[in-house]
Structure 1
Amino acid sequence: MNRASGVLSLLFVASALGGVIEDFEYLSVVEMCDLLPQDTSFLRPNTCDNWVRCASNNSVLEQGGCAAGLNYNKELGRCILASSSATVCPYANAMADQHKNLCANETEGAFIVDPSSSDCRGYILCKSHKQIKANCPNELIFHPVSRSCVYEKQYHCPTSQARRASPACRSLPNNTRLADPVHCDQYYECVSEVLLSRSCPAASAYDASLGYCVDVAEVSCYKTAALPAPENTFCLDSATGSARVGYFADEDSCSHYYICGNPSAGKHDTEPKHLSCPLGQFFDFEKLSCRDRLNVRCQLDRCVGTNISYVNIAGDCQSYGRCSGGVTVSVGQCPTGYFFDERNQGCTETNYHYIACSV
């Protein structure tokens, strides 16, 4: 692969796969605040004396800088003397490195290590002897020798570097929470500048603006986060609270049925098999098999899943239902002394006593 195509390929992959949490320092302040609870104040990344305060219901997003000789203390939430021992700027070394042109003696399009990267994911692209910072895609790290993004098994990130503060936590106060961009029922928390993943309790999810878990019905998720699919509780007996195992008729369809497997780790089967009988057959919950639909008693809409025009009515062999679009749209009745025969699609003097319409 030539150098030009390598530049385009690496940049495209990084931008396409790099998550907003991993690339927190490269986001706009608006994008940062979208991940944070409202009214959160923090040190603006890659600075020592600039601050950001996210909007709340009663305020708008603010950003500003400290006066000369002062640095912003993210834990105190205010500017104090830069010389104070209480103010340790997490970007001091990185800012010093910014004044060094690491690309001064590099060839055009070269990839080099970003010394400010805390997790070996960062690299620098040299373009016209200028530095362009970027991150390797998720699960990849930058190899300083091959100068490319590789899997972690191909290069061991030095421990001293790997254990440094997470890029997403360097500018945030301790215990600050961030929304998970993918899972609405999860979130992140910065603890001693290490990013930890957390999960909300059952039936709740993380509200991105409030900064804590709320009932799923009331949650406002981060814009790209999704709620988990509801757990399938068909194999849980709601009356007794115990798991049920075996074959069961679908409560919404005459022709479908479930197979509930054995409980696992004390929990009912949450992924039961959902199967369908062949066309013209219904599931018989007494004999646990698919049978001719006229030989199965089913109280549900008998037009569902069929291509015939008229069907017998459960409990009344003289009545019939008219089907349209797979559902019953009207009900009719045969003349006195006549019975409806679904098989022949008409009224007849013979009562075949189909189980389907018997009481």
Structure 2
Amino acid sequence: MNKPLSILAVYIITAVSADESEPNIEEICRFVAPGTTILRPNTCEQWVRCPTAFGAADYDDGSCVYGLYFNKDTGRCESIENVNCPYESNIVKNRCASKKTGSFLPHPTNCKSYIYCQNGKEINATCPNNLIYHPTKVACVYAKQYECELKTFPANANPICKAIPKNKILADTKDCTKYYKCNKDQQLVKLECAEGQSFDYVSSKCVTQKSAICHPLAPELEPESDVCGNADNVHIGYIADEKSCSHYYICNKRANGRPDRKPLHLKCQNEHFFDINTWSCRDRLRVQCYLDRCEGIENGYVNVAGDCTAYAHCKNGVTIKRGKCGEGFNFDERLQICSQQNISYVACKS
């Protein structure tokens, strides 16, 4: 239980030989979704249910009764002849143990052969000529009459793939956008979620980054921005920050035509605001911004967008109070006074 995670990484990153030691239960359960039921390594009849949460210890286990194997893909104990056990080469298997005398079973590794059960023992037999055994008809037939599929597990199967259910997905503990899956050759391959998605450790699915629950060991994801639009409306170029008068984004053009999810986020120099009309950083009084114009002001007064007679009192960069000049007066942000002069700052024009 205390083996370092680097040990399991060996099983994930490389294909392993059949004689390499199998990972233990704790190692496997760290990477599958909570509550996953797996086949206990080096057995055919024993199962283990992983804890219901990462780091928990509420394991559950059991063993199928005599004559049955645990089917890791269905999560049930089933007749031996119906289960493809990846550890069968390590176990002496008698398929006739629970069968009546006179029963016929398909051979697990040879389409031309079959097994006859007599007094609980196996008797191997072979179809004549080029015929193959048909388990449903319980007869030897021509190859064109039946498509034989052997239930064998690859000899060089990855140890993780031997224990987990078919199509079960494992989280990548180093990158929340990636995951592992066993291919048809029972080797672990690394896959990646679609752009804008992350792998959800609990549901074992790729979901939107905002709703994904990453594996507890995976680094926290950098939040992806949606300021550059969506698949139907892609923005390219300079975009004003909807929360700041002085900040802006640069949305780059992507080769795949999708929105830039990690645009540059920049800020104009002091006393300057971003002007979306000219894509420029300009004197703050030459830019009309309807957000809080107290941005960057520690203690002072600023014009109010849309009303040159009004002013806002600023403290630590935010508005704490608003007021209005008397009749016939306009507020002059530069002079910090109410003036009878005609104020024509773009910042306060209606």
Q: Tell me how far 1:332 sits from its aligned partner.
A: 1.0
Unpaired stretches in structure 2, ≥5 consecutive residues: 13-20, 92-154
Q: Structure 1 residues 78 and 282 mapped into 2: Cα distance closer, same or farther (>3 Å)?
A: same
SS of 2:4 mapped into structure 1: helix
Name the amino acid aligned to 1:317.
C
TM-score relative to the length of structure 1: 0.60
Q: Tell me how far 1:331 sits from its aligned partner.
A: 0.2
Name the amino acid aligned to 1:321.
A
Name the amino acid aligned to 1:53.
R
Q: Structure 1 residues 182 and 90 mapped into 2: Cα distance closer, same or farther (>3 Å)?
A: farther
Unpaired stretches in structure 1, ≥5 consecutive residues: 1-13, 94-162
Paired with 1:222 and 1:259, the residues of 2 have a C-alpha distance of: 32
Find the counterpart in structure 2 of residue 92 from structure 1. Answer: 90
Contact 2:239 2:248 in 1 (8 A): yes
Q: Tell me how far 1:312 sits from its aligned partner.
A: 0.7
Find the counterpart in structure 2 of residue 222 from structure 1. Answer: 215
1:109-148 aligned at under 5 Å gives the runs none
SS of 1:323 mapped into structure 2: strand
Contact 1:205 1:227 in 2 (8 A): no
Contact 1:90 1:171 in 2 (8 A): no
Find the counterpart in structure 2 of residue 194 from structure 1. Answer: 187
Name the amino acid aligned to 2:77.
R
Paired with 2:315 and 2:38, the residues of 1 have a C-alpha distance of: 62
Find the counterpart in structure 1 of residue 346 from structure 2. Answer: 355
SS of 1:168 mapped into structure 2: helix
Residue from 280, 289, 304 that aligns with 1:298: 289
Find the counterpart in structure 1 of residue 168 from structure 2. Answer: 176
Contact 2:24 2:41 in 1 (8 A): no
Residue from 30, 35, 45 that aligns with 2:31: 35
Q: Report Cα offsets for 1:282-310 as digits up to 9, x if no partner.
A: 22233332222122222221011333411
Paired with 1:217 and 1:257, the residues of 2 have a C-alpha distance of: 23
Residue from 235, 250, 272 that aligns with 2:241: 250
Q: Report Cα offsets for 1:174-204 as digits up to 9, x if no partner.
A: 3333233344444322234211234445665
Find the counterpart in structure 2 of residue 78 from structure 1. Answer: 77
Q: Report Cα offsets for 1:247-302 as digits up to 9, x if no partner.
A: 34333222122333344232344443332221111222333322221222222210
Find the counterpart in structure 2 of residue 260 from structure 1. Answer: 251
- The farther-off stretch of 317-326 and 19-28 is 19-28
SS of 1:188 mapped into structure 2: strand
Aligned length in residues:
272
Paired with 1:84 and 1:351, the residues of 2 have a C-alpha distance of: 92
Larger Rg: 2
SS of 1:187 mapped into structure 2: strand
Q: Structure 1 residues 22 and 310 mapped into 2: Cα distance closer, same or farther (>3 Å)?
A: farther
Q: Tell me how far 1:351 sits from its aligned partner.
A: 3.0
Paired with 1:16 and 1:86, the residues of 2 have a C-alpha distance of: 29
Residue from 34, 44, 49 that aligns with 2:40: 44
Q: Tell me how far 1:354 sits from its aligned partner.
A: 1.9
Paired with 1:263 and 1:88, the residues of 2 have a C-alpha distance of: 45
Contact 1:279 1:306 in 2 (8 A): no
Paired with 2:82 and 2:283, the residues of 1 have a C-alpha distance of: 86
Find the counterpart in structure 2 of residue 232 from structure 1. Answer: 225
Contact 2:171 2:201 in 1 (8 A): yes
Find the counterpart in structure 2 of residue 148 from structure 1. Answer: none
Q: Report Cα offsets for 1:33-82 as digits up to 9, x if no partner.
A: 4533465433222556543134679xx7422446789876645753877x
Q: Structure 1 residues 16 and 337 mapped into 2: Cα distance closer, same or farther (>3 Å)?
A: same
Contact 2:42 2:87 in 1 (8 A): no
